[in-house]
Amino acid sequence: MNYLLSLNKRYVYLFFLLVSFFILIFFIYKFIENYDENINENSLKFSGIDIAEPRFTISGRDENINITAKEGNFIGEDKVLLNKEVIFDSSNFSIQAQSVIINRKEQSAISNYKSLFKSKKTIIVSDGFNIHQGGLKIEFYGKSKITIK
């Protein structure tokens, strides 16, 4: 005699129903877990920063000044606020600051925060700077310390 035919049909249906229920619960749990991870990743992406690790260039007659930072926010049609480890780098000098506003249309930059200018024979620590005329002129603001080697 066949063993499957001797089983009570109610118990077989109940067994398959329970197994199906547990499989359904497992897939729902995995879906919710994956959905929560996606929400966490998306909330990190929209943290109030318009540009992550922005890069710009001020083009002068003689040389280009490359600008990098960790964060950037648009504050106007042509103006961008750069924050955290802002570095201006050219073949002749570099400037480091924490916060700078650059104007892309006028090819200029201004900062009212402590900045460090380094070239081959000069170091300038100041309370701010203004780069204008396409990078041809750099003015340093506030209390400044100049070291010439």
How do residues 85-135 score in pLDDT, each as one tens digit? 899 888 888 899 989 998 888 888 888 889 999 989 999 999 888 888 777
pLDDT tops 80 at residue 80: yes
Give one DSSP letter per residue of 92-139, joined into a string: SEEEEEEEEEEETTTTEEEE-S-EEEEESSEEEEES-EEEETTTTEEE
What per-residue confidence (pLDDT) applies to 43? 46
What per-residue confidence (pLDDT) applies to 8? 78
Residue 99 token pair: 């916060």
Give the residue carrying structure tokens 């067994």: 15
How do residues 35-71 score in pLDDT, each as one tens digit? 655 554 444 455 577 777 888 888 777 778 888 898 8
d(CA 6, CA 58): 86
